[in-house]
Amino acid sequence: MTLHNRGVFMPRTKMRVAILATAVGLAAALVPSPASAGACGAGGNYFDGFYYNPNDVGHLMRGSHATIVARPSTQCTGSENFSTSWTMWEGGTTGLQYVQAGFMKITSHGFTEVFSEYNNGTGHTRYYSGVQAVDGSTAVFETRWSFNSVACPSTTNCASTYKGNTLLQRTPFDPTNWPSPYYNEVFGETSNVEANVPGSPSSPTTFSAIKYINGNNAHVSQPCGMTARLDIPSRWAQDTPACDQRRVWTK
Amino acid sequence: MRRLLSTSVATCIAAGAVVLATHVGAGAEDAYTEGQARSTETPVRFRFDDPRGEARVSAGAAVAAVRAAGHLPEGVRPVVALGQFTDRDFGPVVNGDVQPLIKDRLAYVLTFEAPGRPGGGGVHTPTGGHAVIDGCRHTFVVDAISGDYLSGVEDCSR
């Protein structure tokens, strides 16, 4: 019994054994985990990460790119909730026009899974790939503009999301119709204050080889100058090992 | 796998399935409503054709697999149907064409409506975030031979 996709990911049977072994090991050693999450309160969107506007260096933006290390998250209990890490191409002014891809865990009893999501301001569509990611595994995620492509589902131009070379999702709209400027983003995010962003002080969530795709369809290494956002500084943290490498975690 | 009933007793239509009968398991874990798979354009990426062959895991086990993955809210009873499943948008792209990694797989499709919470852009989303959207269409798929949860879509678009 195995999962349908491999790469850095594990067959389900092996993963169950690994999870059991890990759980036993952690229990025996009483290793402290990231700050314990509590019962879920009111839901929303809470962020720990970085963003950048390529217009600042005269570039149009046509996609985002990052290598992300999967980390488990401790989540709140009592309602549906998520904890996630992703790369995103955002436009508009409402926070509801975006294309993203990365890892997501749903509820305290779910597992970390490759996902992708788009939103044209009229409600989101989220794809769950069923691909489970173990702690420390990495994957390259990208959002990318497709110009004059027959592959776009209902428009001439659209955006596509990828894990490596594997297509995850295509939008039924052209994101370049969004009001500019556009932003390149890497974030940890939760749906509840009480949940933990993925990562711990000893094993943070790492975003590396951060890039954006410019108007010439070239991948540009993320320069210095990303802006930080940290909604819950009492519980979460972040740092910048390099301009194109960022980390987030729960204290 | 319990064979599906005749479509003549279909009583209502849900996203991706025609409802045929309701089943309540010994516990809440496997409660579901039996249906018949059909191709659906919402979401556009999932294709379902008539099933070929017999499932090796029960519909209740498929429901439990989706619940274990964190995707089935408490108190929600999905419609479950058996069919040949293809995810047309998951796979490598070769010369502009997607090569589906999951193609013509005997699978259970679970559909239900439930609220969904959007992610949000990290620049413009105000502190506290966005509101939940009611009535989102959820579709999740489980391999009917191995019992593995395969994929899903939460469609809250209007």
Q: What is the pLDDT of residues B61-93, one digit of tens each?
A: 999 999 999 999 888 999 999 999 999 999 998
| CB within 8 Å: A125 and B157 | yes
- Reference A49, options B126, B128, B121; nearest CA is B121
How many other CB atoms sit within 10 Å of the CB of residue B50? 11
From B9's Cα to the closest Cα of chain A, the distance in A is: 32
pLDDT of residue A2: 34
Residue in this structure with the two tokens 């596509």, named with its chain if needed: A160
Please give the Cα distance from A36 to A242 (Å, whole number). 29
| CB within 8 Å: A117 and B119 | yes
Residue in this structure with the two tokens 């297509």, named with its chain if needed: A167
Q: What is the largest CA-CA distance in chain A?
A: 57
| CB within 8 Å: B121 and A231 | no
Query: How does the average pLDDT of chain B come out, rounded?
Result: 81
| CB within 8 Å: B91 and A167 | yes
- Reference A136, options A30, A234, A5, A22; nearest CA is A22
AA identity, residue A140: V
pLDDT of residue A102: 98
Please give the Cα distance from A218 to A80 (Å, whole number). 39
Residues A215-238: what's their mean pLDDT? 96
From A118's Cα to the closest Cα of chain B, the distance in A is: 9
| CB within 8 Å: A95 and B92 | no
Buried b or exposed e, range A46-83, using 16+ CB within 10 angstroms: bbbbbbbbbeeeebbbbbbbbbbbbbbbbbbeebbbbb
Instruction: For residue B117, list chain A residues with Cβ-Cβ distance below 8 A.
Output: 43, 45, 80, 82, 191
User: Which residue in chain B has the smallest CA separation from A109?
Assistant: B70
Is the Cβ of B150 closer than 8 Å to some Cβ of chain A? yes
Q: Classify the C-alpha dihedral A61-A62-A67-A68 as positive or negative.
A: positive
Distances (CA, A) of B28 to A24, A77, B20, B63: 28, 18, 20, 10
| CB within 8 Å: B90 and A170 | no
Is residue B101's pLDDT more than 70?
yes
Is residue A24's pLDDT more than 90?
no
Q: Which of B69, B71, B124 sits opposite A93 (nearest CB)?
A: B124
Please give the Cα distance from B107 to B99 (Å, whole number). 19
Q: What is the pLDDT of residues A157-189, one digit of tens each?
A: 999 999 999 999 999 999 999 999 999 999 999
Please report which residue ranges of chain A form alpha helices under DSSP H: 12-29
Please give the Cα distance from B2 to A245 (Å, whole number). 53
Percentage, residues of chain B above pLDDT 70: 75
Beta bridge partners of A160: A144, A170
DSSP letter string over A133-192?
--TT-EEEEEEEEE-S-TTSSSSSSEEEEEETTEEEEE-SS-GGGSPSP-EEEEEEEEEE
pLDDT of residue B115: 93
